[in-house]
Structures are given as structure tokens and as C-alpha cells.
Amino acid sequence: MIDFFPELQPVAKESDGAKSVLIIEDDIDVRDILTHSLEHQGFETTEADTGHEGIEVARKECPRIILLDLNLPDIPGIEVLEDLADDPTLESSAFIVISGLESPDLVRQTRRAGGSFFLRKPFDPNALLILIEHLLGELDSDIADPDEPETGLDDSPW
């Protein structure tokens, strides 16, 4: 099997779900590559090959990151995204849409539906890993102190 993260060293798996990823993808080859590569980096992965199965697994497992293809065999991935993003049990999950579909408004549509990032197929697996780590960092900082006010340009007196 091809290792898509060759410059990175394997990491021991965590068992607390902090690095859990659900892959909702109907293409078995893409799913297998993602699973192998992410597990090699210490992530716990779960797979689903349809939208309905993905929704069921997401609600049961409450993964930190959900990778979602938009072109699913049973229901449109955008509907899966809207459903999961609106689910209060998944409020500490983040969504990365990975799709080969093209449309002028697709990225905006996935953002409105609750997606954090959009990657067009074919994608750079190293970029995906960076996005996942970024989202985990954001999720962890939100959990660390959810009542702490955000800082930034909006808080500046200037």
C-alpha cells in the first residue's frame, strides 16, 4: 500500500477518541488509502460507504473529524453534512468535505452547511493531514476554555 505521508513518522494510537476520524466515502480505494494513511499517523478511523451509514456511525461514535465525500450512492453528501452539522451531539466534531464535484458555488454551499474545509479530488494527502491537525487544535482550544472570550482584531480599540 502507498504511504501518502512519507516524511512523517508513525505515532502511537490514542485510545481516548481525541484523534478519531470518520471517513464517509463510497470509493473503496480512496477510503482504504485514507484509513491506512491516517492510522499510520496515530488516528483512530471508522468508515462508512453511504450517507445513511455515515450518519448512523457519526451519531454513535461522535468522531472529532468527519471526512465526507459529496457524491454518495444513497443521499447527497451535502444533506449528510447539513444533518450532522445540526446535530448537537456532534458539536465537538469538525467536517472536511473531499469531493471531485465542481460547481461555482459548491465551496460556499458546503461552508453554509457546516463544513470547515473543502478539498477537491485529487487532493494532497499532506495538506489533508495539516487541515486535520489544525481542526483538532481549534477543537481542543474550544474545549479548554469555552467561556474565554475570543481575541483578535474585533477586540482591538483601534
Give CA–CA dist 91/104, Å, rounded.
28
Identify the segments of the chain with pLDDT beneath 50.
1-15, 146, 149-158
Whether 155 is covered by a domain: the verdict is no
**Tens-digit pLDDT profile for residues 13-24:** 344 578 999 999
Its domain, for residue 117, covers 20-144
Query: Which residue in 11, 18, 12 sits closest to 139, CA to CA?
Result: 18
The number of domains in the chain is 1
Phi-psi region of 42 (alpha: psi -120 to 50; beta: other; left: phi over 0): left
Residue 104 domain flag: yes
Q: The C-alpha cell of 52 is what? A: 445513511
Looking up residue 57, the CATH number of its domain turns out to be 3.40.50.2300
